[in-house]
Amino acid sequence: MFAGVPTMRESSPKQYMQLGGRVLLVLMFMTLLHFDASFFSILQNIVGTALMILVAIGFKTKLAALTLVVWLFAINVYFNAFWTIPVYKPMHDFLKYDFFQTMSVIGGLLLVVALGPGGVSMDEKKKEW
């Protein structure tokens, strides 16, 4: 419109739904964190949390989400191998629950990879700069 006068662009509810989905995905991811004293558990938590923060704020979202998908899938198959435990043992049910909970987070991250971060993200703001 006028030079030097800021204008507001039109925003759609889709942008805010994608932001809400990313925030809820962060909350789902937080249930996957394990607070053990082992080196690998600490490494897993740090790498996963760093990538999830990138997804939440929308910075390099598709790359961070895809990296997190590969990371979570590898860890999930290794640590939650419920198929190696006999069905009658209670640990089978616990591992099966954790396995499919992690797969739910992976599914949400794949949607982020496919659809992008949405309008309310740093990736979108970088296009304006």
Model pLDDT for residues 49-67, shown as the tens digit of each residue: 999 999 988 888 999 999 9
Domain that holds residue 62: 16-115
Which pLDDT score is estimated for 117? Answer: 85
Q: Could you tell me the pTM of the whole model?
A: 0.81
Residue 125 forms part of a structural domain: no
| Residue 3 within any structural domain of the chain | no
pLDDT < 70 positions in the chain: 1-11, 128-129
pLDDT at position 127: 73
The answer to whether position 1 is within a domain reads no
- 39 in a domain, yes or no? yes
The pair of three-digit structure tokens given for residue 114, joined into one six-digit string: 């496919």
Say what the pLDDT of residue 11 is: 63
The domain total for the chain is 1
User: To 10 degrees, what angle do helices 61-79 and 39-57 make?
Assistant: 150
What string of DSSP letters covers 59-76? SSHHHHHHHHHHHHHHHH
